[in-house]
Amino acid sequence: MLAALAAQMAYLQIKNGATFKAEVNRTDNTIETNNVQRGMIYDASGKVLVGNESHQAISYTKGINVTSASMFKVANKLSQYLTVPTDALTDRQTAIYYLANEKHAAVITAKIPKAQALSATALQDATQDYVVKHMPSLTDQEKQAAAIFTKMNGAYALSTTYIKERDVTPTEVSEIGEHMADMPGVKTATSWSRSYPTGNSVKSFVGTVTSEKQGLPADEVNSLLSQGYSRNDSVGSSYIEKAYEPILRGTKSRTSVEVSSGNKITKQVEEYAGKKGSNLVLTVNSKFQDAVQEVIDKQLPGGTCQGAYAVVMNPSTGAVLALAGDSRNPNSGKVTTDALGAINQPIVMGSVVKPAMLTGGFQSGKLTPDNNTLVDQPIVLTGTSKITTDWNQNSAIPMNAAMALETSSNSYAVQVALKMADFKYSPGASINGLPDNMFQMLRNNFSQYGLGVKTGIDLPGESAGLKGLSSRAHIGSALPEAFGNYDAYTTLQLGQYVSTLANGGYRMKPYLVQQVRGTGKNGGLGAVEYQATPQALNYVDASPEAKAIVKQGMWQVVNGSSAHRTGADVLQKLKPGIVAKTGTAETFVNGQQTVTSSIISYAPSDHPQIAVAVAVPGLPQTDASYLVNQTIASEIYKLYWKDIADSDGIK
């Protein structure tokens, strides 16, 4: 036996000694990463809307194969110099910390029945469950250590996490720096949080980022981890911050780390210093945006009103110039700033759809530029309610398409829809004669303007609107659909729609980010990395003569001679002249009959610079409440001509 042992030793030392020596001296190279500043967000004038505020922080970089016992020692040491919140510490986290002490683990393991027969995972669960059930009493400092350990334990090997990312005191920095050699992986660092120099109101459409405490959104963890994020990284959680996350996040620094076979770091070389995220320049001017929001706040009615929303666009490019809104609880009266309600709150809008309805009539050939006179009269079909124009309940009044828009004739719009469906109207005819595809025909017509379909704006969470029931049993509802009293649309869809009318038929994709830019040497905006270009989604192919008639009708809404024109009360006073169509839809709030007051408009009439859409749902049925749409639009135009442009060109 001794001879055999000697032979084996000789074999190991002489024949394979060099191999084993090389294995002992073997080193591995791996990569350590660290976060960088997030890109900033600017308004159209170059003013910072969203910046970064730096904070003194304490971080921890987890080494290779670091044991729980070693982290336990570091956490206890660090807790002597650093105060962290402990209110979020769970019983399970406390148990994991407690068991990281090898003596505690041995004692608890001895209390587990048949511990030796359990797998490592099962034994771990059993010991943690035991500690949770028989929770030991921890001192305040031990609770601090448990909270610190929890953050350390959540980090991946060679990833960096913040133990305390803000409100670190000079004393804490000094004491930790003095004892850092005794706490492997602990460093003084810098963290960043979002700041809002112009105020927090921009969050309503810019969005927010998660905190280090929140980490990655639960529903996106796996996807983001695969993209190189750590679990506690901050990430855009809504709106622009989320939509442009890959651009704003930047590129983490990379340090090559050489690790010996004993898991000790022997060499560190910075391969890449990291790059701050790129900056976004928006299409909105913050001064104008804030002023439009103030108009909404000031003009918001009370009572049953459910809110007010406004969208301002450049009709030629699709650039969103302002996005504002308030949501109001009619029961409590509580008002919440809700700019994004303009893109995700469908509303039954009313007669603003009539220019699209009449354009469809011209496109189908049922109306022609030379023959578009119909008789405004009550529409009576068996199986549905009588439909009349508000100001004409019983008479028969001939009118052309332009006058039908000027006076907002419901009868005219319904007759156009019936003609498009090849339904020959006669008083008392049955709605059973309406074709099965009636709804689809009308919706196809409206969708070419963006009504009932997503606009394509560069923000997540956009609504496509809300379609009413459209089975054969609901065929009678296709008649109010023709004048906007059935399906629901967003205010942004109205903005895209009126922009299409203004620019001659091109449905432009709305956008809020006009540029992506780097960072200059002085910390400001750097070189342009991306420039948004206008994108037409489709073209409304009606004849120039037909479009001219629709435009003339919308001009007459504000500037016509009829006593029944609907936009003269407020808008007629504005210069340059406004082209518009108002809308009123019948709605209900808490069982009480109410109305939605809406408007689409643009100006100047030739070479339009600005398109404005407004919707105010849930208004009480009073004459004065109907004018809030015009009042809001009027104030927006005044602000635009004052602060952004004039009728002759950009200031």
**Signed CA dihedral, 543, 546, 552, 554: sign only:** negative
The total number of residues shown for the chain amounts to 651
**139: exposed, middle or buried (Cβ count in 10 Å: 0-12, 13-18, 19+):** exposed
Residue 217's contacts (CB-CB under 8 Å, 6 or more residues apart) are: 210, 224, 235, 237
Give the integer Cα–Cα distance in Å for 396 and 376.
6
The two structure tokens encoding residue 649: 């060109």
Distance of CA 89 to the CA centre of its chain: 31
Compute the distance between CA of residue 255 and CA of residue 274 in angstroms, rounded to an integer: 10
- Residue 162's nearest CA partner among 188, 144, 143, 130 is 188
* Beta-carbon contacts of residue 472 (< 8 Å; ≥ 6 apart): 436
DSSP letters for 533-551: ---EEEE----HHHHHHHH
Neighbours of 267 (CB within 10 A): 11
Are 316 and 607 in contact by the 8 Å Cβ rule? The answer is no
- Give dist(CA 235, CA 276) in Å, integer: 14
Catalytic residue among 68, 204, 327, 351: 351
Question: Is 351 tagged catalytic?
Answer: yes
φ and ψ of 527, to 5 deg: -65, 150
Q: Taking phi first (over 0 means left), then psi (-120 to 50 degrees means alpha), and beta for anything else, what does residue 208 get?
A: beta
87 three-class SS = coil
Question: Around 459, how many Cα atoms within 13 Å sit in the side-chain half-sphere?
Answer: 29
Structure tokens at 453: 């379909």
DSSP 569-604: HHHTT-SSPPEEEEEEEEEEETTEEEEEEEEEEEES
Eight-state DSSP code of residue 116: G
User: From the DSSP assignment, how many helices (H) and strands (E) are in the chain?
Assistant: 23, 24
- Give start and end residues of each alpha helix (H) in 157-281: 170-178, 203-206, 221-225, 239-243, 245-248
| Secondary structure (H, E, C), 367-431 | CECCECCEEECCECEECCCCECECCECCCCEEECHHHHHHCCCHHHHHHHHHHHCCCCCCCCEEH
Rounded Cα–Cα distance for residues 47 and 525 (Å): 10
Phi, psi of 321 (to 5 degrees): -90, -25
Q: Which of 156, 129, 145, 131 is nearest to 89 (CA)?
A: 145
Q: How far is it, in rounded angstroms, from Cα 497 to Cα 507? A: 7
- Check if the beta carbon of residue 253 is closer than 8 Å to that of residue 36: yes
Catalytic machinery residues: 351
